[in-house]
Amino acid sequence: MKYFFNFAPTFIFFIIYQMYNIFLAIKLLILFSGFMLIIDFYIFKKIDKICLFNFVNIFIFGSCSILLHNSNYIKWKITIIYFLMFLYLFFYQKWKKKLFFENILRKKLVLPHEVWINLDFIWAIFFLFCSIINLYVALFFPENIWVNFKVFGLTTLTLIFIVITVIYIRCFISKKK
């Protein structure tokens, strides 16, 4: 549920973009992302690191887009975030001396070490792919195509990849039984 809650500012961005323009949509994206951060803190009594990271990036790139009246900055935001996520996952095991997915899911799942390695690797590659494809769409397609791709394309790709990940994990859980 929280996952969909975090998408509310993106869908507001999309609706306002369709009705008005990208700059008003960016302003409301910044506003509602901050609002969601406050609601998240009010409900859970702590600030979620991912929500904070997302808000800071929306604020920085959105502000640059608004102040410089250039929508490219907001388009680059997701490319940079996905690339940073790729780097984080790719180098997490060397930096922390453990695997990212194993670290966050080991209390809920018992999987072979190779599966945890594969999860980190395939998600790192997925984020790299999303970074590259977003950059390509942002650079070579009209703004309205990028907005639709950002809201529906990347969201759909992520949901599909989550389902693939769950199926992959279920295969190893089934083998253990």
Task: From first to last of the 177 residues of the chain, give the pLDDT tens digit.
Answer: 566 667 788 899 999 999 999 999 999 999 999 998 898 888 888 888 888 988 999 999 999 999 999 999 999 999 999 999 999 898 887 777 788 888 888 788 888 888 898 999 999 999 999 999 999 999 999 999 999 999 999 999 999 999 999 999 888 875 555
Do 134 and 175 lie in one domain? The reply is yes
- Look at residues 36, 70, 104 and tell me which one is the last residue of a structural domain: 70
Kindly report the backbone phi and psi dihedral angles of residue 40, in degrees, each rounded to the nearest multiple of 5, phi listed first: -60, -45
| Cα distance between residue 98 and residue 92, in whole Å | 7
Q: How far apart are CA 119 and CA 70, in angstroms?
A: 37
| Two tokens, residue 1 | 């549920």
Judgement on whether residues 66 and 112 belong to the same structural domain of the protein: no
Q: Which domain holds residue 84?
A: 71-177
Number of structural domains the chain divides into: 2
What is the pTM (predicted TM-score) of this model?
Answer: 0.86
Same domain, 86 and 59: no
Residue listed under structure tokens 């609002």: 35
